[in-house]
Every structure is written in C-alpha cells, then in structure tokens.
Amino acid sequence: MDRLHVLDNVTTCSPPSLGPLVDSFGRVHSNLRISVTDRCNIRCVYCMPESAQFLPRQDLLSFDEIERIVRVAAVLGIDKIRLTGGEPLVRRNLPDLIGRIAGIPGIKDIGLTTNGILLAPMARSLWDAGLRRINVSLDTLSPEKFLELTRRPGLESVIEGIIAAKEAGFDPVKVNAIAIKGTTEDEIVPLARFAREHGLELRFIEYMPLDVVASWERDKVLLASEILERLERDVASLRPTPDQDPRAPAADYDYVDGKGRVGVIASVSRPFCMSCNRIRLTADGKLRNCLFALEETDLRTLLRGGASDSMLTTALRESVSSKWEGHEINTSRFIKPERLMHSIGG
C-alpha cells in the first residue's frame, strides 16, 4: 500500500488515541520487546563486560508499570510481546508478569528470549502462566567454547532447559546462535545436527556492532550466505520456507529431507529495516524505536510523574513517528549506540 495512503487513512479515519502505530515510511508496528532487567548470570563477550554496572532495582520498571504500558500499547495495535533482558529469568516472579500480560485484551502472542541457564526448573511455570514461544541463546555445544564465549560454565544447564521447555509444551523451541567469523564457524554444523536430532528450530544471527569493546568489524560477520552454504554442504539440502511472514526478521529454510527448519537473521548483509514492525522498552523504561536508536523516549518519568494514558499514547506515537528508515550499518553514517546489548534488551 502506498505510504501516503496509509498515513492518510490513519489521519482521517482514526481519532488521535486510536488506530495503529505507523511511522513516516508506512510501517505499522505491532511488536513490542520488553526488557525486564539488565542483569544477567553469564557474561557473553559480544554482549556485556566482565564487570558490568547494573541498574539500581528501584530504577527498573515495576510489573504494574510494565502492565500499564502494554495496556496502552495494545489499544494502539501492539499484539505481540517478547520479554528479554539481560537475562529475564533472573527477574523474580516473572510468571506473574506473563500472566498479567496474557490477560490484556488484544495481546495475542507472548514470547521470551533466555540464555537457558535457569530454564529447566521454570519451564512449566512459564507455560502455565501463558508463555507460548521461547528462544534459547546457544552458540556452541562445546563446554570449553561455551566458557570462552560466556565467561561462565553452564552448558549442561542450557541443554537441560531446552529439554524441559519441550517437555512443558513449547513447540518449537527456537535456538539462537550468533555467527562470528573466526570464532563460531565450527559450531554451525554441530548445532544444526543437534537441532535436527531434537526437533528444535535453529536460527543463526549475523554478528552486529553492539559489542562491548567496539571491536566489531564487518570482516568478522559470518554472512547468511556463508552459513547457508555450509549447511547445504555438510548437513542437508535446504529450500525457502513457503508463506513466510514478510515482517519477521528471519529468513527461514526447510530441510528438503523433512527433518526440520533453520533460519538466518541477516541484519548486516540483508537489512530488513523496511519491514520492521518492532519497538523496544528497556528495563529502565526508555522506549526505543530501533535496536540501534540514538534517541529514547523516557516513559518511566512519565509514569512516575502521574502521566495519563493519553500522554503515554502520545509518547508512543511520537517515538514511532520519528523512526528512521534504517540502521545504516553498511554506510559511513553509522553511529554505534552508547548502550550495550544487555542494557538495550536482546
């Protein structure tokens, strides 16, 4: 649909407080990613420093505050929520928040991204609370490489968490793996075979410039094309999955032999900015209209200052309206955000 036509419909047919969240490029936003904490129980080298400074607990949004933001956002067409961190499972009583969100009219889907360390004993309670989609971050099946990448032990706990999630009813359990040239290339095939054996949906994510020591270089990005070539050569033939959601960040491929599916999120080599429908809420209540945004909208101050729902609605609309065309990673204009990934929310 023509951009001006979309915006014209929103302007002329919808009261100011109603209608979808549409930016100046005609992108309709229906997906809100919420970081519930910046704390984490591992220290992935591409995500956070060994000695991280975490937010004081009083600076984190309360469950009441998160619920209120979701209720306002749901009226504006947000129907998909993903909970992130830091590591979201370190946030106490998280199933309670999931249950609250699941009960909000208009919310159709709740997902969670976790490193899996604490997942095994919590999988059933997360499912019972209303969570239906889960992504587990796992870059390697080698205990030595796991320790090198995360600076902590715990591979066995992650595997146990994946198995527990399947037993609790999550289907599929998705596994996210960061692809870094010179670091995780040898993990591609073992992870793919592991996923096929256990009925998991594996997704490789191109290495993005949100690293701790600003050591990111394009040459370190293991490109989607290289990942797919290796999978086809050493695992099994692939074909594009039919009827994919054009707004989804991953391009999915089915194994021709029928034994599973794999996805690639090519944020660097194949940016999907023009189909992006996501906004982000940090653990301290800052609204970001892009993962790489340089500006934020402070919803926490509004909430704690007695803002009305109308004021929150205006803040959401203005943030989405000001969203840029894309992140510009592949241009000389790119500016790395000051926040690290654990502080933004994965």
Instruction: Write the pLDDT tens digit of every residue in 202-259.
Output: 999 988 655 555 555 667 888 999 999 999 999 999 999 999 988 888 999 999 999 9
Asked whether the predicted pLDDT for residue 135 surpasses 90, the reply is yes
Contacts of 217 (CB under 8 A, 6+ apart): none
- Looking at the structure of the chain, the number of domains it has is 1
Q: What is the CATH number of the domain that holds 71?
A: 3.20.20.70
Contacts of 308 (CB under 8 A, 6+ apart): none
Residue 58 vs residues 51, 61, 63: alpha-carbon distances, Å: 21, 8, 12
> What tokens does 170 get?
């999550």
pLDDT the model gives residue 217: 63
Minimum mean pLDDT among 38-47, 59-68, 142-151: which range? Answer: 38-47
Average pLDDT in the chain: 89
% residues pLDDT > 70 (the chain): 86
Angle ∠(30,63,343) on CA atoms, nearest 5: 70
pLDDT the model gives residue 214: 55
Query: CA 51 to CA 324: how far, in whole Å?
Result: 33
Ordered alpha helix ranges (H), the chain: 3-13, 63-75, 94-102, 119-129, 143-150, 155-168, 188-198, 224-234, 299-304, 309-321, 341-344
Residue 266 vs residues 122, 177, 217, 235: alpha-carbon distances, Å: 31, 12, 15, 20
Asked whether the predicted pLDDT for residue 4 surpasses 80, the reply is no
Pairing of strands 238-240, 297-298: unpaired
% residues pLDDT > 90 (the chain): 72
pLDDT the model gives residue 346: 65
Domain span at residue 119?
Answer: 3-11+19-344
Q: Is 249 in contact with 272 (CB distance < 8 Å)? A: yes
Omega before 172 within 30 of 0, i.e. cis? yes
Question: Within 10 Å of residue 207's Cβ, how many Cβ atoms?
Answer: 22
Asked whether the predicted pLDDT for residue 3 surpasses 60, the reply is no
Angle ∠(116,120,122) on CA atoms, nearest 5: 95
